[in-house]
Chain A
Amino acid sequence: MAKVIVGMSGGVDSAVCAYLLKEQGYDVTGLTLRSWVSGDGQESRCCEIDDARAVCDKIGIPFYVVNCLEEFEKTVTDPFIDDYLKGRTPNPCVICNRTVKWDRMLYNAKMMNAEYVATGHYASIVKLDNGRYTVKKALHSEKDQAYMLYRLSQEQLAATLMPLGTYTKAEVRDIAAKAGLPVAQKGDSQEICFVVDGDYAGYIERNAKTSVPPKGNFVDEDGKVLGTHGGIIHYTVGQRKGLGIAMGYPIFVKEIRPETNEVVLAKDEALYSKEIVCDDLNFLSVADIDEADGLECSVKIRYRHGGQSARLEKIDDKKIRVVFTDPVRAATPGQSAVFYDSNGYVIGGGIITGEK
């Protein structure tokens, strides 16, 4: 039976992924990537490594830990900080999947003569009639993890198994409990693994290699100064809480202007845009967008966005315009926009630029 390397995060999903593949008869090996260690010795995977090892022991498969601290810093955390310093709000997981996780897992798979890698994502990998691989939204999951996978390459997808695409989280926990896996009741992981306390601004202040932008002005859409902000890294488009400013009506971050160190505040209705521009594109189900025809699809502009119907128009080889049927709220530069077709297949995606 084929050999597969399962990326083990220490959580219940990857544990069940490994368990199911073993049950299906695969020759399974568990692998955990150590991606970061903070200055005070805290790290991404200390307890997670123990949990992953315990799961592999229970299932009866070999387990290894490999380091990828250097790649992670270079391709994930440094650009993450850099984006915030430029007033953008990045999705580090999207980048990590392609440049760190899959890259390292496939390297280790090749080294160990394994045909596949596998993960516990709630999504399915599909090979289409046109010969291309894409990711399909999970059947049941409230979390659409296909969003996080749109940057994977065709080669990466072709060598990947995702057995959880048809299960619900409750079913996965149930499988884990019945199999006696020690992580059956473990809580879900937080969104960004290396910002342990959820305080992004604090993380950036501690880890930035260049100076962090100072306090500046809150301004309205006409440029009138409304007050003082605590530094642009503290804000993201659409934010309402924590502005520390009272206008007598609800007010939101509309835009961050790194060049003038300003944060633009506006009423909710000013946050909507009919069109956005994306660059840094990656396509899955299609090789490219037809220049003349464009493409109708559903677009998610952030991980927890439900998706809105839109039309993709090619600007040039590097850029695409997304024209929404109904205006979309708080499109945020730095976030990924992911395009889905009517079957729930990922067409592709790109990074929102902020260009109008």
Chain B
Amino acid sequence: MDKFIYMDNAATTKVDPEVLETMLPYFCEEYGNPSSAYSFSGKIAVKVGEAREVIANAIGAKKTEIYFTGGGSESDNWAIKGVADALSKKGNHIITTSIEHHAVLHTCEFLEKHGYEVTYLPVDDKGFVDPKAVETAIKPTTILISVMFANNEIGTVEPIAEIGKIAHEHGILFHTDAVQAFGHLPINVDEMNIDLLSSSAHKINGPKGVGFLYVRTGVKLSNLIHGGAQEYNKRAGTTNAAGILGFAKATELAVSEMDKVISYETSLRDRLIKKVLEEIPYSRVNGDLKKRLSNNANFCFKFVEGESLLILLDQNGICASSGSACTSGSLDPSHVLLAIGLPHEIAHGSVRLTLSKETTEEDIDYVVETLKKTVERLRSMSPLYEDFVKKNEVK
């Protein structure tokens, strides 16, 4: 049995062959350092400039507002630490949410150790942040509001434009971690009042190790990576030309296909959710059914450990994850599932399936069949389930 179904596209994606094609010349042929003086390198610098333009256009920004980084986590770190440092005279309070990616949460915890105060806003049972709660949390010392565009585990798309509006009415900078949203959902930084936005190439069929931070003109931001004068003196490190050009190509493709992909993935996602809920007893879907990333499905199966489920799915050729891939090492139940109010033992039994434009209806049906089988098998081994069945029989 050599079935292979990749349903972990929120963890990372396959590099698109066109993206790879774009990148290849920049390894052995056009390998010059874009910052060098000679023409061999100069033409690479020109290409990087074009890439910056492509990415800026994708979010309605200016070319000079796009700073390439090493990825989403670096962008989040830079945005938050950079604002905290640059505005430390103005205030020390940051507002974020309890369901952010750890790149945001752990950065905020780090700042708390250095005298900053952080408010972690709760979310409702679907994972939504209440814009009114954001407004209420604002203090005279608030210097930054950071709310993710779409959640990486349960796919909930946050009311970013509303929160951005509130931030700007109060003259506070607004950052959004858009790692799961960029290239998947339409974004316009002006309409949405976004001042800083983090993104990563490998979530949109681009290469790993490259991302960007959008920084609105005029925003004061201290540097995170000190060194050379790359990225308009704001982010040191030799320009990753191949990665950046690959990222731009991936962006181009994602933007041009966005509507088509959203509608295709949405229909498959809804089929998956519907079948799972219908065919597997004691299952639930986490997150909102409508305002959710088109490729995300997240389930809990009562009496089943996510970890065991992943092993059995793997043995059936299915790549899935429990929580987010970044926290698979930890036993703690997902902070996101706890934040939407799930009890500890149920939050342990979650599985996230994230589709791509290459997922087929046949894949979905096979995954549902396999889930059904494995959930049944794991429940047959669970003493808790046995007790539960007995109790119900008595009734």
Contacts and interface: CB of A to CB of B under 8 A. Distances in A.
Contacts of A107: 381
A64 B381 contact: no
A66 B315 contact: no
A34 interface: yes
B109 to A, nearest CB: 13
B312 A34 contact: no
B311 A108 contact: yes
Interface string B360-395: 000000000000000001100100000000000000
A69 B329 CA distance: 11
B331 interface: yes
Given A67-B331, A69-B331, A70-B331, A110 B381 contact: yes
Contacts of B30: none
A237 to B, nearest CB: 36
B308 interface: yes
Contacts of A34: 329, 331
Interface in A34-69: 34, 37, 62, 64, 66-67, 69
B331 A111 contact: no
A196 interface: no
Contacts of A245: none
B307 interface: yes
A7 to B, nearest CB: 15
A112 interface: yes
Given A107-B381, A111-B377, A64 B331 contact: no
A69 B332 CA distance: 10
A67 B305 CA distance: 11
Interface string B303-326: 000011001101100000000000
B307 A111 contact: no
A107 B311 CA distance: 13
A186 B377 CA distance: 39
A108 B314 CA distance: 14
B331 A112 contact: no
B235 to A, nearest CB: 27
Contacts of B331: 34, 37, 67, 69-70
B371 to A, nearest CB: 15
B312 A67 contact: no
Contacts of A37: 330-331
Interface string A101-141: 00000011011100000000000000000000000000000
B318 to A, nearest CB: 14
Contacts of A67: 307, 331
Interface in B271-320: 307-308, 311-312, 314-315
B306 to A, nearest CB: 10
Contacts of A64: 311, 314
Contacts of A111: 308, 311-312, 377-378, 381
A112 B307 contact: no
Interface in B51-78: none
Nearest to B378: A111
A110 B378 CA distance: 10
B381 A112 contact: no
A66 B307 CA distance: 7
A2 B265 CA distance: 42
Nearest to A69: B331
A5 B381 CA distance: 17
Contacts of B377: 111
Interface string A302-313: 000000000000
B131 to A, nearest CB: 35
B311 A66 contact: yes
Contacts of B315: 62, 112
Contacts of A62: 314-315
A107 B305 CA distance: 12
B108 to A, nearest CB: 17
Contacts of B307: 66-67
Nearest to B309: A111
Contacts of A112: 311-312, 315
A325 B329 CA distance: 52
A275 B312 CA distance: 52
A112 B377 CA distance: 10
Contacts of B330: 37
Nearest to B308: A111
A64 B308 CA distance: 10
Interface centre among A62, A67, A70, A108 (most CB of B within 10 A): A67
Nearest to A64: B311
23 contacts: A34-B331, A37-B330, A37-B331, A62-B314, A62-B315, A64-B311, A64-B314, A66-B307, A66-B308, A66-B311, A67-B331, A69-B331, A70-B331, A107-B381, A108-B308, A108-B311, A110-B381, A111-B308, A111-B312, A111-B377, A111-B378, A112-B312, A112-B315
The 3 closest A-B pairs by CB, nearest first: A67-B331, A69-B331, A64-B311
Interface of A: 34, 37, 62, 64, 66-67, 69-70, 107-108, 110-112
Interface of B: 307-308, 311-312, 314-315, 329-331, 377-378, 381
Given A62-B315, A64-B314, A112-B315, 18 more contacts: A34-B331, A37-B330, A37-B331, A62-B314, A64-B311, A66-B311, A67-B307, A67-B331, A69-B331, A107-B381, A108-B311, A110-B381, A111-B308, A111-B311, A111-B312, A111-B377, A112-B311, A112-B312
